[in-house]
Amino acid sequence: MDAVPRGLRFLALVLASAALALAASAGLAVAASYDGRADRDRQRSPRLAVRHPDEQVTALWSGRFDAVGDRQHSVVHVVPLVSDAAPPPGLSRWPAPGEAMLSPALAEAGRDERITTRYGRFAGLIGPKGLASPSERLAYVRPAADTGGHWQRITGFGDPAAVRFGESITVGPVGEPLAAVALLIGLPAAALLVVAVRTPGPARRHPVAIGTALGLLPAMVALVTDLRVPGTGHVLSAAHLRGAAWPLPFVAVGVPLLVAGAGATRRVPRPTVRPGARRAAWPAGGSALVALTAGAAGQSRAAIALFTLGAAGVLAALPWAAGGLAGLLRTRPVIMTRLTAAALLGLAPAALLAVWAGHPGDQAAQARRTFARVGTSVQLVDARGLTADRIAAFSRRLPPGPRLLTLREDGSGDPVLRGGCPALRDLGLGCPSAPSAIPAGHAADPRLQEFLFWAGGPGGALVQRDDARADARADARADARADGRTDGRAPEPDALVVVTDVRDPVPEWVVKAAAYATLPSDVKVESLGAEWRTSGGPGPWVTVLALPGTVVALLAGLVGAAAALPHPADVRRLAVPMLPATTVAAAAAWWLAGLLNGRLGGGGTPPWPILAGGVASAAVLALLATCLGELHRRVSRPPGARTHERKTPR
């Protein structure tokens, strides 16, 4: 039987118990966060008068959107109608006309964009009772005077049938993060448990108790203080977790019972079939061919099934094929196989899930390409009541450099772009006195090309100069007759277009500041495709969950490889096969993720953080194994050997 380093089973049981407790507590934290968010949604939801017709109307409520950087947030406009109306939860009072109250996270994130003055005078912060989580970005705004636009009449706040807004509209169903925790942390923890209970050594209970306590330590800390999840911008609410802390004692009891039950598998013999590297290369290559064929076959169910089958075949056969590197590394094939299998278990599911969850749709991918081409050099300002005085006031608020054009739909559905001749020529256009068509696909300037894609009509757009007085008066009379008016005034545009040079675009927040200061309160400002470019989604969460899962999987491989060593002192030599095994696994995961990205249509981001984190974790664990192996060799060396090495005095 292979010699096993002393204390290996003890260490393996500690690590396995900690991983299981961590996975269970992470799942409980997800469920508690969702429950707490749902409670806050019910408490702060407006009671719509259409749902409660027998109650007195006390306020007007309207939900809108804005963004800081590439992250969207909700802006709720409120106007009390009676003096004794209760303010929204989290607010100590109603905002006065022209005032805004912001969540702490929004005030902090928007500091560089001067968010505290964007919506009006800053009147304070929203309290915890009005936020779905401590990291929610939210604003309550009371317009200075204008109450036009779309408003909801409400009778108060607090409704079981909650109107979702803010952070709550960006999260998916609770089953998605729970499945990610189970796949990325729970599955490696289960693998480590199987390896630990099958590692030879004395059966003891205290390593399981120690590991369980270590695994529950992050949950204990999260019950006391809010914890920021690295890489996601999300903050776990301690209040939410305390409200759902009752299952934690069951975790503390259930993990030792699970370990004890898994110990029964120790009597099940291990498979003795160990195919050689050459024989394993055939199924690995065949599975890779299947995955490659399916990756180019589109998104049909058959293609998905073929890709899944091919990927599973690659992941199953590759560890055995990697055993062929054992001769080059002067190690046993079983060690290389176990290390590669463990690295694949940690990296491949995480990489594939990251590509699947973070893959943009067609519109989002196009929005990213648009931003890469023209940035914020073209911005749309959509508002009602765009009178000449308001447009002039808005223009004066802009810094020097931007050119302003107006946009109005004509009867055919194609918008008419009007502006001064310098602004039109800056876009590579002529300066016609009558509306002139710009067919889609015939624009030369990249800004105009992207504008036609996002704001053009079926036939492209029309262009006309607005400084030809005679022609303008004629157009105004024609438009007035078409609109049924007799005053001869030119119709108001539907939107404004702010154009700057691609090399020196005006920041979006600068245009927003000018718009909110001069135009109606429901104004909307965004660069081309901005609503599709906003960040968020489950992608960062996959990366965060992948790191501990990968470490747990690599630990399972190390423990299994250490149990197969011919001599306990050889633990220090596991660093040699550890890095090549992880590199092979990372390359396979990268290749499969690339195939999946191509099958989804391309445009996704490669899972480099996950793969780099896995290789870095392998390097750290390899160094740690080397140090522990050397320490074990020195401690277990016979006393006579140490004396023999001393130099005798002459």
In the predicted structure, residue 208 carries a pLDDT above the cut 70:
yes
Task: Read off the pLDDT band of 305 (50, 70, 90).
Answer: confident
Q: Which two tokens stand for residue 32?
A: 């508690």
In the predicted model, is pLDDT for residue 255 greater than 80?
A: yes
Which residues fall within 8 angstroms of residue 646, CB to CB, at 6 or more apart? none
pLDDT at position 608 over 80 = yes
Query: Using CB atoms within 10 A of its CB, is residue 98 exposed (0-12), middle (13-18) or buried (19+)?
Result: middle
What distance in Å separates the CA atoms of residue 23 and residue 610, rounded to the nearest whole number? 18
Are 578 and 625 within 8 A, CB to CB?
yes
Q: How far is CA 408 from CA 21, 464, 518, in A?
A: 60, 11, 20
Region 525-552: mean pLDDT is 87
> Worst-scoring range by mean pLDDT, 100-104, 193-197, 643-647?
643-647
- What are the structure tokens assigned to 148, written together? 């036009």
Give the pLDDT mean for 15-39.
Answer: 95
Percent of the chain predicted with pLDDT > 90: 56
β 415-419/403-409 pair status: antiparallel
CA distance 3 to 562: 9
* Helix runs in 434-572, H state only: 446-455, 469-483, 508-518, 530-533, 539-563
Which tops the pLDDT comparison, 262 or 638? 262
**What is the pLDDT of the chain when averaged over all its residues?**
85
Residue count of the chain: 650
- Confidence grade of residue 361 (pLDDT, cut at 50, 70, 90): confident
At 313 the pLDDT is: 80
pLDDT of 472:
43
Q: How many CB atoms lie within 10 A of CB 224?
A: 10
Residue pair 343/585 in contact by the 8 Å Cβ criterion = yes
Query: What pLDDT was estimated at residue 381?
Result: 96
* pLDDT computed for residue 321 by the predictor: 79
Q: Are strands 235-236 and 403-409 parallel, antiparallel or unpaired?
A: unpaired
Candidate ranges 399-408, 437-446, 622-631; pick with highest mean pLDDT: 399-408
Contacts of 620 (CB under 8 A, 6+ apart): none
646 burial type by CB count under 10 A (0-12 exposed, 13-18 middle, 19+ buried): exposed
Looking at per-residue pLDDT, the higher value among 488 and 419 belongs to 419
d(CA 197, CA 243): 35
What radius of gyration, in Å, describes the C-alpha atoms of the chain?
32
Of 448, 431, 304, the residue nearest 439 (C-alpha): 448
What mean pLDDT is predicted for residues 178-196?
Answer: 95
Instruction: List all residues 6 or more positions away from 532 whose beta carbon is below 8 Å from its beta carbon.
Output: 361, 363, 364, 366, 367
The pLDDT, as a whole number, for residue 488 is 47
Mean pLDDT of 420-431: 90
**Structure tokens of 454?**
């996002």
CA-CA distance, 154 to 45, in Å (whole number)? 10
Structure token digits, residue 518 = 């001069």
Q: What pLDDT does residue 123 have? A: 95
| pLDDT beyond 70 at 475 | no
Closest CA to 349 of 93, 11, 614, 104: 614
Give the torsion through C-alpha atoms of 632, 264, 2, 623, to 10 deg: -40
C-alpha to C-alpha distance for 294 and 291, rounded to whole angstroms: 5
Residue 54 has pLDDT above 70, yes or no: yes
For the segment 386-393, the average pLDDT, to the nearest whole number, is 92
Question: Mind giving me the DSSP string for 596-640?
Answer: HHHHTTS-PPP-HHHHHHHHHHHHHHHHHHHHHHHHHHHHTS-HH
Number of helices (H), then strands (E), belonging to the chain: the values are 22, 16
pLDDT at 287: 60
pLDDT at position 273 is 46
Cβ atoms within 10 Å, residue 249: 10
Among candidates 165, 93, 2, which has minimal Cα distance to 564?
2
Region 253-277: mean pLDDT is: 72
Residue with the bigger pLDDT between 329 and 272: it is 329
Backbone angles phi, psi at 201, to 5 degrees: 155, 170
